[in-house]
Structure 1
Amino acid sequence: MLGLCLGLAGQLWAQVAVDNPPAQFTLSWRHTVEKILWQEDYQLTPQGLQIVQARVKGTGAGMEIPDDAKFYDDSWHYQPQLAPIPLLRLGRAPEAGDYQLCFGGNCQPMSHWIGAPNHQVEAVELWSCQLSPSADNEQTNDQ
């Protein structure tokens, strides 16, 4: 079973089993300056995280919307054409707020699994990982 692993520099902090076939999740956050919501839908694959679709509520500094984006449901929707991402590294400073992860419509801040953002560790990495059949729905390790 594929799951989502969270950690940094090869250290595993948490594993999350993704039960909804196909194994998908949504990563969302607010732009640190513009405070506009961004959302990206990913599918877990053995090759990495495959971005399926992205949404953004508006534009601003460094927030260009792709030419092929369509506006509906109060957001710009687009489909990035990228190869699977083996390791997704995210900046995570307290001033920026926390990311949110949604699995099958159930959403939690990333701090639910790995604690609040802090200045000692201002990054996190996400990757697709193979979970053992006996893995709990959530396994959390200390940072």
Structure 2
Amino acid sequence: MICLGAGAAVILALSGPDFTLDWSHSVTRDRWWERWRADAAGLAPVEARIAGPGAGIDLPPDAVLRDGVWHFTPHLPPRPEVTLAASGATGGAWRICARGECHALPEDRGPIRLWQAADCDQG
């Protein structure tokens, strides 16, 4: 199960190992999209698409421009948890999608933590 929390509260629990995240870059306002996978090693991004590089972010050498969007494979190891910045400055909330359902994540509750657990209330 993929668990999402803000502060001490669990705000969402998702079943299944695959999910996507998308958001607007806080400076350039370009939309970013990532597909993630959860397995025994942790959470890892496996695919990414962005309309353009953001402030302070360079595209990796394997990025390919297709239909006006850069596509690439992030080369990051799995992590036990991921923290999403929720600054309120992006003009659009983070959105997480899994199994055909999408959820806007709150921007006013501080950083959002993602992790996996059998029971999100125990994580």
The TM-score with structure 1 as length reference comes to 0.73
Q: CA RMSD in A?
A: 2.2
Query: Where do 5+ consecutive residues of structure 1 fail to align?
Result: 111-115, 132-138
Q: Is the 8 A contact 2:35 2:48 kept in 1?
A: yes
Q: Which residues of 2 match residues 1-40 of structure 1 at below 5 A? A: 3-8=1-6, 11-19=8-16, 23-40=17-34
Report the residue type matching 1:63 in the other structure.
I
CA distance in 1, matches of 2:29, 2:50: 11
Report the residue type matching 2:80 in the other structure.
P
Query: Where do 5+ consecutive residues of structure 2 fail to align?
Result: none
Aligned length: 120
Deviation at 1:103, TM superposition (A): 1.0
Deviation at 1:31, TM superposition (A): 0.3
CA distance in 1, matches of 2:11, 2:55: 33
Residue range with higher mean Cα deviation, 34-43 or 86-95? 86-95
Report the residue type matching 2:114 in the other structure.
L
Query: After TM superposition, what 4+ stretches of structure 1 lie above 4 angstroms from structure 2?
Result: none
1:117 aligns with 2:107: yes
Deviation at 1:94, TM superposition (A): 2.2
Deviation at 1:65, TM superposition (A): 0.9
| 1:84-132 CA distance string (max 9 Å, x none) | 111111111223331001113332212xxxxx322xx42111112224x
Alignment match of 1:92 (pick from 74, 86, 94): 86
Deviation at 1:55, TM superposition (A): 0.9
Fraction of identical pairs, as percent: 31
User: What does residue 134 of structure 1 align with?
Assistant: none
The TM-score with structure 2 as length reference comes to 0.83
Structure ID, larger Rg: 1
CA distance in 2, matches of 1:14, 1:123: 12
CA distance in 2, matches of 1:4, 1:74: 31
Q: Is the 8 A contact 2:43 2:115 kept in 1?
A: yes
Alignment match of 2:98 (pick from 88, 94, 103): 103
